[in-house]
Amino acid sequence: MASNTTNDKPKGTAKRGFAAMDEATQRAIASKGGQAAHQKGTAHEFDSEEARRAGQKGGEAVSRDREHMAAIGRKGGESRQSAARAAAEKGRGAGSEQSTKGGNQQ
C-alpha cells in the first residue's frame, strides 16, 4: 500500500504554529492573552466553592490510579518508620543514663 506523503511520515506529525515555538515564547504569548482577558473583564476567576470542587475532582481522579496511591502510601510508611527509628535512637540515649542512676541493674 502506498503512502500519501513523499517522505513516509504520517500526515500531521510536524509541530506547527504555537507548538513549534520554544517554551519561553509560548509563555510570553500566553501571558499577554491572560492580561488582556483580565483587562477586558472576561477572565475566569475561581471562587472558593468552585476551587474546592475542582480540587475534589482532581483528588478523585488521582486516587483511581492504584499504583500511584500505593507509592504514596509506601513513601509515607518509610518516612514514619525512619522517624520512629530516630525517636528510638534518641530515647535509647536518655534511657541509658537513667539505667546507670539506679534503674534496673542486673
Cell of 94: 536518655
Segment 47-101, tens digit of pLDDT: 899 999 999 999 898 889 999 999 999 999 998 888 899 999 888 765 544 444 5
**Crossing angle of the two packed helices 48-63 and 66-100, in degrees rounded to 10:** 90
**Cβ atoms 54, 46 nearer than 8 A:** yes
Residue 90 is predicted with a pLDDT of 86
Higher pLDDT, 15 or 94: 15
| Stated pTM of the model | 0.34
Residue 33 is predicted with a pLDDT of 92
